[in-house]
Amino acid sequence: MPSGRFDSGVAPWVCWESESSSFGIAFRSYSHYPQWLPLYLISDHAVHWESRCWENEVTAAPKLFFSWNKKKAKAMGERYGKNSYHVPHPWIAYQRKLACNDLGKQGTLVFFPHSNDVSKPQISDLDAYMNSLLELPEKYQPVSICLSFHDIKKGLHKDLRRYGIPIVTAGLVNSKKFAERFYGLIKKSKYATSPNIGSHTFYCVQAGVPFFLTGERPVFMLKGSEMVKDGQQDLKDYGDDEDILAYEHMHTLFSQRVDSPTAEQIDLVNRYMGADAQISPATMSLLLWWSLLVNWESLIRLYAKTSIRYCKKFLARCIE
């Protein structure tokens, strides 16, 4: 797990959505924008099938918005007046630069459905699900389980150890090394699986790792969110009928086991990751610089606030 002061990057964060999961370093790398300058940018924070424009995105101070979901990018501009652009997911170009060894691939990486501060997946019969992984045909063995840092912090790995399946993690999402660790894991695996569709689905297929669904789809229970109601997750809170229909089609598409991603799977993943976006690195760089300039007053306050915070931390350590 990361612990260094600059593990999340040297620049202060303006919006977590455009920095977390190594997005910040990937955006800067793609657009040749300095790693030490903040991003006055709000963006999607994962790969989503839904097109809902979330309150945190709409009300964020930066007017510049990037999305790899073309439908959402259009809605953010037309409905909420954001300077919204359809862009390629920052990991698409970034993962090609990572030195991840894809030799000696073996087995299947299992993306266990993950929780967060307001959402918790429920698997009706955990024993049956775990046994189904161990009973996968020999070519899918051995299996290993990838847990999110949320679930590691909650101690889920301790509960799962009794099944004797190796457990791995890509670590904290606020680390600039998160993407490198993630791709390091999937590049070692011949296959990837999960009981649910998530960002991992798109990342694996985009990187050439075949993904398939295994097990009963988990039910996600929500509590304490300011944006969706408590109780069982309702897909209508996330997208419209068109989105939901596409989401259900994904479950059909990824229910089949294949030895390499199919043309239809690749096309779908490219669409949701914005591989067809027509924005150039140069244009993206100009947009980021312009957003920085129009927010120069906020920039001064941001650095002052950051400096004060780290001075307090430094003094506290000296006193200790």
Give the span between the Cα atoms of 135 and 235, in whole angstroms. Answer: 31
| Amino acid letter for position 159 | D
- Residue 2 confidence (pLDDT): 40
- Residue 1 confidence (pLDDT): 41
Query: 121 pairs with which residues across the strands?
Result: 220
Residues 82, 65 contacting (CB under 8 angstroms): yes
- Residues 60-84 have pLDDT tens digits of 999 999 999 999 999 999 999 999 9
Average confidence score pLDDT of the chain: 92
Question: Is 3.40.50 the CATH number for 100-272?
Answer: yes
The confidence band for 100, taking pLDDT boundaries of 50, 70 and 90, is low
Does the pLDDT at position 298 exceed 50? Answer: yes
Whole-number percent of the chain with pLDDT over 90:
83
Residues 228, 239 contacting (CB under 8 angstroms): no
What is this structure's pTM? 0.92
Give the span between the Cα atoms of 27 and 33, in whole angstroms. Answer: 8
Does the pLDDT at position 3 exceed 50? Answer: no
DSSP string covering the chain: ---STTTT-SSPPS-GGGTTTTHHHHHHHHHT--TTS----EE-SS--S-----HHHHS-S--EEEES-HHHHHHHHHHH--EEEE---HHHHHHHHS----TT--SEEEE-----SSEEEE-S-HHHHHHHHHTS-GGGPSEEEEE-HHHHHTTHHHHHGGGT--EEE---TTSTTHHHHHHHHHTT-SEEEESS--HHHHHHHHTT--EEE-SPPPEEEE-S-SSS-SEE--GGGT--HHHHHHHHHHHHHTSS--SS--HHHHHHHHHHTTTT----HHHHHHHHHHHHHHTHHHHHHHHHHHHHHHHHHHHHHHH-
The confidence band for 320, taking pLDDT boundaries of 50, 70 and 90, is low
Surface-to-core class of residue 160, CB atoms within 10 Å of its CB (0-12 exposed, 13-18 middle, 19+ buried)? middle
- Residue 314 confidence (pLDDT): 56
What ranges do the domains of the chain cover? 16-94+275-319, 100-272
Residues 199, 49 contacting (CB under 8 angstroms): no
- Residues 21-62 have pLDDT tens digits of 999 999 999 999 999 999 999 999 999 999 999 999 999 999
- Residues 140-195 have pLDDT tens digits of 999 999 999 999 999 999 999 999 999 999 999 999 999 999 999 999 999 999 99
